[in-house]
């Protein structure tokens, strides 16, 4: 009989613990509607189209500086070869930047944001792939978390279910996205090198006595200066970018028309694809190898999509076909017309084709355009790394927001100096645009392949496009890009190894960090404390409850972290109000401020234990001046006022979750304000105070006013178990441990003031 009683009691405790230890539930669905964006006028869209020239098209616009030299590094003897190369350039510009990116990929933006992570987040949301271990179904109730229901019998439904159930497919998808990110980082290293070096080398056309050493030295000096001013951000000089690039495109377009009329207007026949067929029939392997140089004509195409968040899709779609593309085509046709009469001057074809009166002005504009092209790529690299950090795929780094208007404009000091060193090494090591171009091409085409694969999944899972169109898109672009990649790999020993080495190192860093982050969460989840045990200690938790508020940070969106029991074991007191805080990033670009916090009361109200989940998107900022602590406490006060008076006083009832409305929509009713007021000292030592209302009925106002906030943070260290494999030991004990030591501290990433920080160290074996 006693044994039966024990079993019954244990069963009730287990059931109680499971009921109390559940994640945030249906109340989180009570969210405010997201206002639809207002329709923009034609004038505003045209203004955005003009501004996009400086941010989006700089890299694509500087390609005419080095394309022909990369196609024919040893020159050419037959005019038909030139016509075939020009025809390839024309149709590659039409096929990839125009059709693929401008009219297809551009439509797959994530609430206005583009890039590899935008495609990944779209797939994860619609296929219900968990990008973070603490994700919960209530996160899908966000107004920015758009998703559609699918018929499970369709191809899209079967693919979605396969992605949901197949862990290997999910891991492969993550690796694919990380690989694309690594190639973008490589792009950020190679773009400044080839753009600046190709523009500076043009001085040798007018000053033949200038040596290659001098050109490389000047390029390195410009690169050092370029990376040193990154900390000021593009916001202060951004107004200059669009007019400068506009002048650049106009200049190369007009010069191209001039050269076509003056030298050989017959080259316009290259618009006929028959010249491509003749080119491949005549040379076969040689023409296939030259595709690597042709590929450089579309470098910077990823910026069309990655930087769409700065403007609008319609503005980018207007600027490219109406202005950028005609200028590029005119420039390439004009250079071909000049080379048809001067075939031996292919080394500096662009500068040699310039009329003497405009040489120096265009040389200056070209140098400026090269720097702007580099700026756009570096900015995209910073933004992508920030997204990777948010999704737990890159070590924590310091993110500086350089603009108060555009959150996408960020500066990462550590990454900036690493890029500068590698960029100078590439420039000084290769010393020429041909080898750098070989490396650059591999990075570009690899990133295009990643986009094509992700875009195919978006068409299938998100858009539910006709399977015929999906097959056509995938087969055409995968075939074209794989052929281009094979051509670039042929030049692996001539500089093509550089982006591969960069990608391997970056991929190991990102994969190891992601793997270690998941293992840390698993350990924390496995060692969490049962809520029933906490409630069994009574309202005082077996400790002295002192006035104040304790923030206990954890990766857990539900449950009590083990650091809390560790804290209770070693210290005899705990704060009168304890809030378990989980800061997590979701696969959405932004989380509206009114939907950021979710709250739940743990146990009876006498315990004064609360759980808070702070949700961010991969584009959201988490800055010191965001007043995170103040906003959290204000929302918690609102939660208590709306729920506590109506709650039952049952001993084991948890409070409901609330999705708090905007502060402006709430006006406190004095007759229902039963909370005492705690005045919190600000981070500095001055007497300026912030006041929030937290329910502390057992403490006097005087004690509450003297209380402050203490942030309790777990310093969790993981080690591989003794019987683990050699690979696991290497990744966890050496690579991950090294990255953890050199990366930014978690307290700094959360902007926790050191004077209010309490660190608790723990070591676990995984």
pLDDT of residue 140: 66
pLDDT of residue 28: 34
122 contacts 306 by C-beta, under 8 angstroms? no
How many other β-carbons are positioned within 10 Å of the β-carbon of residue 614?
Answer: 20
pLDDT of residue 658: 44
Q: Which of 69, 693, 155 is nearest to 467 (CA)?
A: 155
3-state secondary structure of 560: strand
Q: State how far the alpha carbon of 24 is from the alpha carbons of 278, 613, 632, 657, in Å.
A: 66, 9, 17, 7
pLDDT of residue 406: 61
Domain ranges within the chain, ordered by starting residue:
43-145+157-515, 528-765
3-state secondary structure of 592: coil
Q: Cα angle vertex 232, ends 230, 237, to 5°? A: 95
pLDDT of residue 212: 85
**In whole angstroms, what is the distance from residue 486 CA to residue 470 CA?**
24
**In whole angstroms, what is the distance from residue 331 CA to residue 53 CA?**
17
3-state secondary structure of 297: helix
pLDDT of residue 405: 63
Give the torsion through C-alpha atoms of 179, 184, 188, 193, to 10 deg.
80
HSE-CB of 595 using CA atoms within 13 angstroms: 24
Residue 436 backbone zone (phi > 0: left; psi -120 to 50: alpha; other: beta): alpha
**In whole angstroms, what is the distance from residue 236 CA to residue 376 CA?**
14
396 contacts 403 by C-beta, under 8 angstroms? no
Handedness of CA 245, 446, 512, 140 (dihedral sign): positive
**In whole angstroms, what is the distance from residue 416 CA to residue 488 CA?**
28
pLDDT digits (tens, 9 = 90+) for 400-434: 877 666 666 778 999 999 999 999 999 999 988 88
pLDDT of residue 145: 66
Structure tokens given for 13: 């405790």
* End-to-end Cα, the chain, rounded Å: 41
| Residue 26 DSSP code | G
* Residues of the chain scoring pLDDT < 50: 1-37, 646-702, 704-705
43-145+157-515 is classed CATH 3.40.50.1970 = no
Structure tokens given for 42: 């034609």
HSE-CB of 539 using CA atoms within 13 angstroms: 11
The label of the residue with tokens 């990376």 reads 227
pLDDT of residue 137: 62
Structure tokens given for 555: 């990766």
Collect all residues with Cβ–Cβ distance below 8 Å to 652 and sequence separation of at least 6. 16, 20, 535, 603, 604
pLDDT of residue 716: 85
pLDDT of residue 656: 42
pLDDT of residue 18: 45
pLDDT of residue 132: 60
Residue 154 backbone zone (phi > 0: left; psi -120 to 50: alpha; other: beta): beta
């Amino acid at each position: 009989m006693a044994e039966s009683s024990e079993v019954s009691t244990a069963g009730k405790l287990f059931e109680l613990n499971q009921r109390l230890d559940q994640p945030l539930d249906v109340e989180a669905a009570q969210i405010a509607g997201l206002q639809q964006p207002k329709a923009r006028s034609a004038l505003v869209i045209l203004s955005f189209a003009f501004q996009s020239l400086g941010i989006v098209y700089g890299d694509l616009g500087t390609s005419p500086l080095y394309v022909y030299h990369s196609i024919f590094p040893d020159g050419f003897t037959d005019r038909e070869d030139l016509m075939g190369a020009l025809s390839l350039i024309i149709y590659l510009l039409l096929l990839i930047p125009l059709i693929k990116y401008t009219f297809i990929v551009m439509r797959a933006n994530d609430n206005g944001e583009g890039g590899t992570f935008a495609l990944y987040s779209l797939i994860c949301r619609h296929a219900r792939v968990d990008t973070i271990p603490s994700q919960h179904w209530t996160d899908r109730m966000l107004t920015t978390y758009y998703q559609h229901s699918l018929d499970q019998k369709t191809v899209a439904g079967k693919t979605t279910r396969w992605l949901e159930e197949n862990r290997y497919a999910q891991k492969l998808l993550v690796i694919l996205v990380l690989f694309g990110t690594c190639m973008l980082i490589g792009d950020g290293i190679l773009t400044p090198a080839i753009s600046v070096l190709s523009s500076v080398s043009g001085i040798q056309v007018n000053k033949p006595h200038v040596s290659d050493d001098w050109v490389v030295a000047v390029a390195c000096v410009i690169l050092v200066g370029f990376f040193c001013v990154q900390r000021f951000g593009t916001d202060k000089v951004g107004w200059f970018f669009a007019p400068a690039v506009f002048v650049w495109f106009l200049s190369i377009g007009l010069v191209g028309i001039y050269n076509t009329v003056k030298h050989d207007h017959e080259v316009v026949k290259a618009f006929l694809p028959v010249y491509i067929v003749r080119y491949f029939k005549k040379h076969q392997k040689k023409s296939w190898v030259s595709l690597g140089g042709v590929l450089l004509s579309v470098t910077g195409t990823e910026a069309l999509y990655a930087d769409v968040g700065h403007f609008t899709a319609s503005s980018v779609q207007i600027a490219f076909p109406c202005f950028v593309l005609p200028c590029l085509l005119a420039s390439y046709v004009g250079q071909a017309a000049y080379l048809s009469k001067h075939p031996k001057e292919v080394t500096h074809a662009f500068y040699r084709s310039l009329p003497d009166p405009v040489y120096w002005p265009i040389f200056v504009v070209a140098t400026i355009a090269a720097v702007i092209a580099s700026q756009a790529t570096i900015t995209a690299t910073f933004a992508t790394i920030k997204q990777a950090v948010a999704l737990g795929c890159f070590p924590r780094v310091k993110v500086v927001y350089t603009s108060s208007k555009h959150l996408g404009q960020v500066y990462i000091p550590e990454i900036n100096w690493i890029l500068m060193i590698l960029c100078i090494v590439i420039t000084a090591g290769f010393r020429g645009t041909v080898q750098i171009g070989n490396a650059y091409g591999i990075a570009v085409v690899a990133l295009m392949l990643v986009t094509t694969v992700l875009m195919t999944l978006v068409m299938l899972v998100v858009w539910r496009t006709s399977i015929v169109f999906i097959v056509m898109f995938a087969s055409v672009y995968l075939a074209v890009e794989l052929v281009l990649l094979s051509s670039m790999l042929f030049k692996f020993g001539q500089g093509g190894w550089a982006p591969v080495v960069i990608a391997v190192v970056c991929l190991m860093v990102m994969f190891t960090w992601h793997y270690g982050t998941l293992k840390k969460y698993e350990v924390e989840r496995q060692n969490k404390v049962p809520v029933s045990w906490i409630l069994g200690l009574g309202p005082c938790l077996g400790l002295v409850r002192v006035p104040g508020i304790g923030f206990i940070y954890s990766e857990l969106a539900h449950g009590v972290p083990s650091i809390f029991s560790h804290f209770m074991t070693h210290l005899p007191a705990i704060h009168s109000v304890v809030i378990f805080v989980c800061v997590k990033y979701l696969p959405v670009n932004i989380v509206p401020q009114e939907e950021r916090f979710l709250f739940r009361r743990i146990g009876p109200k006498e315990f004064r234990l609360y759980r808070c989940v702070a949700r961010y998107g991969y584009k959201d900022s988490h800055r010191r001046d965001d007043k995170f602590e103040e906003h959290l406490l204000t929302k918690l006060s609102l939660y208590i006022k709306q729920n506590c008076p109506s709650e039952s006083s049952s001993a084991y009832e948890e409070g409901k979750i609330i999705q708090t409305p905007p502060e402006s929509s709430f006006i406190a009713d004095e007759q229902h304000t039963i909370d005492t007021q705690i005045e919190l000292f600000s981070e500095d030592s001055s007497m300026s105070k912030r006041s929030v209302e937290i329910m502390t009925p057992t403490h006097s106002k005087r004690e509450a006013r003297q209380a402050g906030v203490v942030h309790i943070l777990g310093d969790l260290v993981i080690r591989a178990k003794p019987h683990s494999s050699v690979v696991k030991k290497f990744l966890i004990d050496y690579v991950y441990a090294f990255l953890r030591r050199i990366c930014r501290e978690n307290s700094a990433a959360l902007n926790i003031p050191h004077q209010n920080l309490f660190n608790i160290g723990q070591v676990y074996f995984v």
